[in-house]
Amino acid sequence: MKLLVIGGTRFLGRAIVNYALSAGHEVTLFNRGQSNPDLFEGEVETLIGNRDGGLGVLDGRSFTAVIDTCGYIPRLVRDSATKLKDAIEHYTFISTLSVYSDTTQTGQDENGPLGTLEDETVEEVTGETYGPLKVLCEQAASEVMGAEHALHVRAGLIVGPHDLSDRFTYWPARVARGGEVLAPGAPDRAAQFIDVRDLAAWTVKATEARLHGPYNATSPSGHFTLGQVLHTCRDVSGSNATFTWVSDAFLKENEVGPYMEMPLWVPAEYAAYDTFNAQKAMAAGLAIRPLTETVRDTLNWQATRPDDHQWRGGLTPEREAELLQKWHERG
């Protein structure tokens, strides 16, 4: 394929480019040139432009397909699709499981209810608007390209090397330090996520196959548990970590933030969010690598980061120690 990647130099985008190159595809990037601009120097062509009014650099170009890794605003996705409609055969849009409006429904497949916005002209991306805006982005791509020429990859929590959000990286790094580790909820609680390299490989293959419509792209429901994640982190790192499992009630009482301050954890009433049905994508070839590989490679990548990097997710050592002390002092 002659593949155009919008973005392509951060996390999922770079993994998509790496896989596409390894599969022998010709890759062109379109981005602002601000993040890792030299990452693929000499390997790909890079077109510098802003998708908000700066699409002219794409004039006269043609590609087999585009993979849009960084579309958040419907107007801009519509502009990109309109610009490329006659220059490509297929549009792959990276969406999210956050498009679904009901976080209490277990086992949702691609037919689950979607989020909506009262004012569809809103362009500010917040925790509340992120999912509904992605819904509108999907709709824009399908409307412009035609439904049979647009694929919507509804990605789950993406983890692995080069993830700067720390929503998973916290655990391999924390467990590797050893000692008493505060563990959230219960060890048999479901944890649903996907290695960035598995998502990238499937996205490129799905684009090759011209799949269309929405696909939930994450691990199968029940494939991972919190306990499995933590014990795998200990096994891989060889640390002496012990796990103290604290209750949802305790975490909420102490105002511990789910997902970011306490990665992979949500209160039990929202546990359905880790049970999405990914069978459609699995039937279409999505493969999930062993957890040991994800933990090992994440830990190895984490070791290359500067010691003073700013963690974006997870408990600070001080906060964790404070919570553990409170837990043990309960009357």
| Domain identity same for 175 and 323 | yes
Given 109, 132, 155, which residue is the final one in a domain? 155
* pTM for this entry: 0.97
Q: Which residue type occupies 92? A: T
Residues in the chain predicted with pLDDT less than 70, given as ranges, are 331
Residues 133 and 249 in one domain: no
pLDDT at position 271, please? 87
If asked whether residues 186 and 93 sit together in one domain, one would say no
Q: What local confidence, expressed as pLDDT, does residue 330 receive?
A: 87
Looking at the 3D structure of the chain, how many domains does it have?
Answer: 2
Whether residue 281 lies inside any domain: the answer is no
**Residue 117 sits in the same domain as residue 188:** no
Look at residue 331 in the predicted model and tell me its pLDDT: 62
User: In the Cβ-directed half-sphere of 177, how many Cα atoms lie within 13 Å?
Assistant: 11
